[in-house]
Amino acid sequence: MKTLIIRNTLILLFMVFSSTVLMAQETSLLGGFARINITPDKRVTLSGYANRKDLSTGIHDSLSARVAAFQSKSDKIILVSTDVIGFYSGTDEIIRDAILKQFNLQPQQLFLAAIHTHAGPSIILDKKRGHANNVEYTQTLQQKLITAIGQALDNLQPISVGAGNGSSPVGVNRREVYYDEAGNPRLWIGRNPDGVHDKQVSVLKITAHDDKLLAVLWEYATHSTSLGWENYTISGDVHGLAEQFIERYLGAGVFAPGFAGASGDIDPWYRVLPGFETKNGWVPEPVLLGTMLGEEVVHVLRKIEATSPSGPIRSIYKTIELPGKPGGEIKTTMDHPKVPLNITVGRLGDVAFVGLGAEVLSDIGLAIKAASPFKHTFIITHCNGTADYIAPQHLYVEGGYEVESSPFASTAADMLAKEVVQLLHKL
């Protein structure tokens, strides 16, 4: 009888222990990270400036795709930062579909984003519209993204996370007022230090359970356009150079995927330069700005204490229809077709990610952050789509490049911001 009691007690203890271990595994946050080189091995056409027609002439710094995969229980989200301008001309749907199919993912689980460098290859699969080298590059890029995501998922391990914010003057509002010969005010793309700009540097720190630093995700709102149309040298520009600086400084084993925040009206302080000047010890402006941004990420990182998240992983993907207008115009008409825009929102504990498939201006990103129910909200533009510029309503009085080239009517921005905030509350 005594033996039976002891045996039953041991069985009960084993069941309790096994259940506890299983619960710990189910509630544990897992993370996996990967990086893959996506630098072209052939000369390609570069993206971002319509008047630049020739092929690239050299490589200043390597381009990469960086993947951060997070999983808790059966839920997961995968964030991909790619050192290209964006996935235009339908390439976003083709590449996303291939990734979703390969890993049996739901649309809301994937954030496929670009840092918006204007010194990277044009992404295109249409042989009639793109150079053969670029078509080949894009096909190879798709497979490399699949490879990197697979590596990240294969490397999942228990992690702790923490978030913090800093500030950087690297970007500046570019909607500058000038006066024509008759004294009339005009807008052009220049430098407007007094204009609206989200200077926040958002940083997510990820460590293993032994406190080893694994990855640093970060977001900052600026175009990566310190290099202009006269430049034919491949580079990640501001965001890409910042990623590279952070990884060199922190060590080869650390991953530092960066994302472009709401920066449709934001350019680097030094913009559209013809190349990398080094004469007489001059520090090239793209390197200077990328290093300065990277150092702020590291400064913020040092103050973050990584802890286990206080909530689950969840995500939502939704395509909304927004009022449209003709390109090159400011006004719209009642019968003008609506324009689709993809929204992806996700949460990782008390951290939210907002992926917007458009080039969103600063006011919109600031409004979303201010109304977000989460302690930390990362705005990720050029994500899961490329619907071009979307500007706040009050700027339609001023006009300017971002407004006139936008396919969206003046009421679209408010509708977008409200939709995003509602989705965040659903998380």
Residues 235 and 342 in one domain: no
Strands 157-167 and 200-208: antiparallel
Residue given tokens 């699969």 in the structure block: 125
- Among 258, 285, 303, give the residue marking a domain's end: 303
What are residue 264's phi and psi, to 5 degrees? -60, -30
- Write the single-letter amino acid at 218: W
Which of the pair, 286 or 327, is modelled with greater confidence?
286
Q: Is residue 21 in a domain?
A: no
Output the six-digit token pair for 257: 């995927």
Strands 75-82 and 64-72: antiparallel
Residues 128 and 263 in one domain: yes
Residues 290 and 374 in one domain: no
Output the six-digit token pair for 129: 């519209």
CB-neighbour burial class of residue 252 (10 A; exposed 0-12, middle 13-18, buried 19+): exposed
Q: In Å, how far are 56, 79, 398 from 53, measured between CA atoms?
A: 9, 32, 32
Three-state SS at 329: coil
* pLDDT reading at 173 higher than 70: yes
* pLDDT reading at 3 higher than 60: no
Give the model's pLDDT for residue 309: 65
Residues 216 and 119 in one domain: yes
What are residue 371's phi and psi, to 5 degrees? -95, -5
What are residue 385's phi and psi, to 5 degrees? 150, 165
pTM for the complete prediction? Answer: 0.92
User: Could you tell me which residues are beta bridge partners of residue 31?
Assistant: 70, 157
Strands 157-167 and 110-114: unpaired
Residues 375 and 328 in one domain: yes
Output the six-digit token pair for 236: 């990640």
Work out the number of other CB atoms within 10 angstroms of the CB of residue 281.
5
Cα 90 from Cα 93, distance rounded (Å): 6
Q: Is residue 6 in a domain?
A: no
Three-state SS at 395: helix
The tens digit of pLDDT for each residue in 209-243 reads 889 999 999 999 999 999 999 999 999 999 999 99
**Domain residues for 350?**
313-426
360-380 in b/e form (b: 16+ CB < 10 A) is bbbbbbbbbbeebebebbbbb
Average pLDDT over residues 44-62: 96
Average pLDDT over residues 329-333: 90
> Which sign, positive or negative, has the C-alpha torsion 138, 142, 143, 148?
positive
Three-state SS at 146: helix
- Write the single-letter amino acid at 40: P
Give the model's pLDDT for residue 21: 36
Residues 370 and 394 in one domain: yes
- Number of separate domains in the chain: 2
Q: Are 226 and 271 in contact (CB under 8 A)?
A: yes
Q: Are 235 and 353 in contact (CB under 8 A)?
A: no
Give the model's pLDDT for residue 74: 80
* pLDDT reading at 16 higher than 80: no
Give the model's pLDDT for residue 24: 39
Average pLDDT over residues 119-128: 96
What are the residues whose beta carbons fall under 8 Å from the beta carbon of 50, sequence distance 6 or more?
none
Residues 146 and 221 in one domain: yes
Residues 240 and 124 in one domain: yes
Q: Is residue 60 in a domain?
A: yes
Q: Is residue 229 in a domain?
A: yes
- Among 280, 303, 326, give the residue marking a domain's end: 303
Q: In Å, how far are 26, 73, 237, 269, 357 from 171, measured between CA atoms?
A: 42, 39, 13, 5, 21
Residues composing the chain: 427
* pLDDT reading at 147 higher than 80: yes
Cα 401 from Cα 224, distance rounded (Å): 17
Give the model's pLDDT for residue 310: 57
- Among 250, 278, 303, give the residue marking a domain's end: 303
* pLDDT reading at 7 higher than 50: no
Average pLDDT, the chain: 93
Alpha helices in 251-356 (DSSP H): 285-303
For the chain, what percent of residues have pLDDT higher than 90?
Answer: 87
Residues 298 and 330 in one domain: no
* pLDDT reading at 80 higher than 60: yes
Give the model's pLDDT for residue 73: 87
Q: Is residue 148 in a domain?
A: yes
Three-state SS at 324: strand
Which of the pair, 328 or 426, is modelled with greater confidence?
426
The tens digit of pLDDT for each residue in 342-361 reads 999 999 999 999 999 999 99
Residues 156 and 268 in one domain: yes
Q: Is residue 281 in a domain?
A: yes
Residues 148 and 282 in one domain: yes
Q: In Å, how far are 33, 261, 321, 410 from 248, measured between CA atoms?
A: 16, 23, 43, 44
Residues 151 and 263 in one domain: yes
Q: Is residue 268 in a domain?
A: yes
* pLDDT reading at 25 higher than 90: no
Three-state SS at 355: strand
